[in-house]
Amino acid sequence: MSTVQIDMGGDAGGEADREQLTYERASGRIEEIIRRLDSGEAGLRETLELVAEGRRLVEFCAGELEAVGRGLEELRLDELVARLERGGEDPAPPAA
């Protein structure tokens, strides 16, 4: 699961407004955006902002799907632990 953080709120400077983005949050927000756009109630400015936000979220989701669609990568825990014990190497597997 990615821990990408993007600004979900309107205040670009507020760290408190930044929330951890997950696939479910992103896809849920995309559905909200599309519901809002489908309602036809959003004005031009809001529509363009929602579309831009939606595109960012779609890119994020596409990245998440891409990450689990590149091909199964199988690792062994014992090897990772051994590597850690050998010299304090990062037990985390290298990015695929």
Partner 1 sequence: MSGPAPGGDAPAGIPGSALPGPFAVGAYAERLRQQLRAFARVQVFGELWNFRTSRTTVYFELRDARGALPCAMWRSDFDELGVEPSDGAQVVLAGGCDYYPGSATSSPSFSFRATDLRIAGEGDLLAQVERLRRMLAAEGLLEPQKHLPRPLLPRTIGVVTGESGKARDDVLAGLRRRGWSGRLIWGFAPVQDRHAAPKIAQALRDLAAIEEVDVVIVARGGGSLADLFAFCDETLCRTVALLRVPVIASVGHHTDRTLIDDVAAVCCSTPTHAAEAAVQLDVNAARAALLRETRRLDAHGRRAVLDRARTLVALARAPAEHVARHRRRLHQQLRELRASAKRRGARERDVTATRLLVLRRKRDVAAAERTRAEALLRSDGERLRHTADAATARRRRDLERLELALAAHDPARTLERGYALVADPAGELVTSAEQARASGTVDLRFHDGHVRADVEDAAR
Taking residues 51 to 70 in sequence order and writing x for each that binds partner 1 by CB under 8 A, - otherwise, the string is: x--xx--x--xx-xx-xxxx
> Which CB atom, from 18 or from 36, has the smaller least distance to partner 1?
36
Furthest C-alpha separation in the chain: 61
Member of 15, 16, 41, 75 binding partner 1 (CB under 8 A): 75
Q: Pick the closest to residue 6 from 67, 38, 68, 54 (CA basis).
A: 54
| CA dist., res. 96 & res. 94, Å (int) | 6
Residue 49 burial (C-beta neighbours within 10 Å; 0-12, 13-18, 19+): middle
Contact footprint for partner 1 (CB under 8 A): 1-2, 22-24, 27, 30-31, 33-34, 37-38, 42, 44, 47-48, 50-51, 54-55, 58, 61-62, 64-65, 67-78, 80-81, 91-93, 96
